[in-house]
Amino acid sequence: MRWWDIPGVLALERELFPDDAWSEATYWSELALARGPGRRRHYLVAEAAGGTLAGYAGLGVAGGTGEVMTIGVTGGHQGAGLGGRLLGALLDAAAGPFACHEVMLEVRVDNERARRLYQRFGFARVGVRRGYYQPGNHDALVMRRALPPGGSRTPVHSEGTEGGAGEDG
């Protein structure tokens, strides 16, 4: 994901997260952390044929722990494996260049599809954050996936991602 992707990502945000879409300013500051020698973010986009935005995902890293910051696939492209490819790409980045020993995430308890996706990729529930999502006061499950010690460039996800999601560092 680069700065010129932001308008398309914001449109997808409003589609997928109508109650708590991230702002343009948030994406600019997140992408600023994704550049340079001390970078601690990794954001990518997936484009459909013709270049329209089909999905996006982001990883944050602090102290050897990765965090799935966001992941989304537009309605017309859901259920075809793209979410899995995006999540796999985040895990590869966490295990490889960022040398994380674990990846964490939060997911709304009623988000069945996302929970199934995370479980398929080896995430296990480690806790609950009551009222984490506002408005609505929805609880979040906290999930964790351990990564091999020492980091690895070998794919660590459980589904094929050969060819991967589109990415521009």
For ligand COA, the binding residues (CB under 6 A) are: 16, 71-73, 78-84, 107, 111, 113-114, 116-117
Give least dist CB 121 to ligand COA, A: 9
* Cα–Cα distance, 87 to 67 (Å, whole number): 11
Least distance (Å) between residue 131 CB and ligand COA = 16
**Nearer to ligand COA among residue 34 and residue 114 (C-beta):** 114
Shorter beta-carbon distance to ligand COA: residue 101 or 120: 120
Tokens standing for residue 71: 């992941």
Q: Is the dihedral of CA 158, 164, 166, 167 positive or negative?
A: positive
Report the residue closest to ligand COA, judged by CB. Answer: 83
- Min dist CB 105 to ligand COA, Å, is 7
122: left (phi over 0), alpha (psi -120 to 50) or beta: left
Query: 89: which 2 tokens?
Result: 């790409």
- Closer Cβ to ligand COA, 14 or 113, answer by number: 113
Minimum CB distance to ligand COA, residue 82 (Å) = 4
Q: What would you report as the CA-atom Rg of the chain, rounded to the nearest whole angstrom?
A: 15
Whether 133 and 20 have beta carbons less than 8 Å apart is answered as yes
Nearest residue (CB) to ligand COA, 79 versus 131: 79
* E-only strand ranges, 15-169: 41-47, 53-62, 65-73, 102-108, 124-133, 138-146
CB distance 42 to 58 below 8 Å: yes
**Shortest distance, position 168 Cβ to ligand COA, whole Å:** 20
Residue number with CB closer to ligand COA (6 or 142): 142
Say whether 136 sits in a helix, a strand or coil: coil
